[in-house]
Amino acid sequence: MAGEMLRQARERAGISLSAMAERTHFSKSHLGNVETGKRAVTADIVLAYEREVGEEMDRRGVLSGLAATVVAPMATAELIYKGFSEAAYRRPPLDHWLERVDALGQDYMSYGAAALQPRIASDLVTLQGQLASPRLWGVAARYLTTFGKTTQGARQASRWYGLAAVAADRSADTDTRVWVRGRSALALAYEGAGLSTAKRLADQALAISDAPTLGRLNALVAQAHVAGFRGDHETMTAAIEEAKRVFDIAGSSEQISDFAVPEWRFWTFLSMLYSRIGDEREATRAQDAADQARPATLHRFATHIEMHRALMLVRSGDVAGGVAYATRALDQLPRERHSLTLKLLMREIETAQPA
């Protein structure tokens, strides 16, 4: 994963592997082996790439993430030096942080938690010393929400979601306050974890504003998931119908961002819900719609739909077949792309009972 991050930064900067080798004085074969994971990433490699594609690596948080997890103290020292230099000589403008958090939303859709967590942590360390305006608190709230989704387990995630809500309140922006609570609630409810916290956050989001926003959409879908999990089909159905009305107004045209809800993702949320309660007709409809609308590059989310189909098999009585189907789906996804959510789905499939 570390080598892949270097490769992507190089390619985004428009530099060929041959040109990178010439500029850095490492052999092309050595750099190729590092980028493909055949050789370990070392501090001198990271710093060489940073010198050549520094702007791209800084925007995406590549250097800071690698320095925090996989390279020697030399690179960590470079990170500290850069951080203090920024503080002493220049404060990145708001646009810098807006660009970085938008890039994070996009990268969340492809990278696993292990790659994202150190990057987010590094940015938060820098950002916390710059929270001089409400809009920066809004940026921090989005960072904190995403960080919560990379942690292990509902209890840890809930702590971060609570802090994200505090940051959102400091932003004094209604849409941000609703989005943070709605997205956090849906993250928990989709995983079938921390349902009481999910309901509380969803209720808070819905009480803050009734405007048709992405935050309200997330909160309504979370509410439907919690109700479905608890067998309250009346509340579930009402929440779904309201969510559909909000989606018609606030649904996203942007396809690849954790901060967006395009059509394919809305159907994915519903697919999980209907698969979980054993509604085969509605689940199949949602799965087919998600597959048709989803960008082909989002392999992890294609795996989500396959896991939903596996859960449906178990709920229909084919326990062994469902578990085998889920195992094959996970095996086809590169391990570095696995997420905590997929692991929890696998656990749910293994322990689910026929409807």
Give 125-182 pLDDT, tens digit per residue: 788 878 889 999 999 999 999 999 988 788 889 999 999 999 999 999 999 999 999 9
Instruction: Return all residues near 20 (Cβ < 8 A) that are at least 6 apart.
Output: 10, 26, 31, 49, 52
- pLDDT at residue 261 is higher than 90: yes
Cβ atoms within 10 Å, residue 328: 11
**67/83 Cα distance (integer angstroms):** 13
Report pTM: 0.78
pLDDT tens digits along 302-354:
999 999 999 999 999 999 999 999 999 999 998 878 888 999 999 999 999 88
* DSSP assigned state of 91: P
Rounded to the nearest angstrom, the gap between the alpha carbon of residue 230 and the centroid of all alpha carbons in its chain is: 26
Instruction: Return all residues near 15 (Cβ < 8 A) that are at least 6 apart.
Output: 23, 52, 53
Task: Give the tokens for residue 304.
Answer: 């989500």
Q: Could you tell me the residue ranges of all domains in the chain?
A: 262-355
**70/26 Cα distance (integer angstroms):** 19
CA dihedral 340, 42, 58, 5 (to 10 degrees): -50
pLDDT tens digits along 219-229:
999 999 999 99
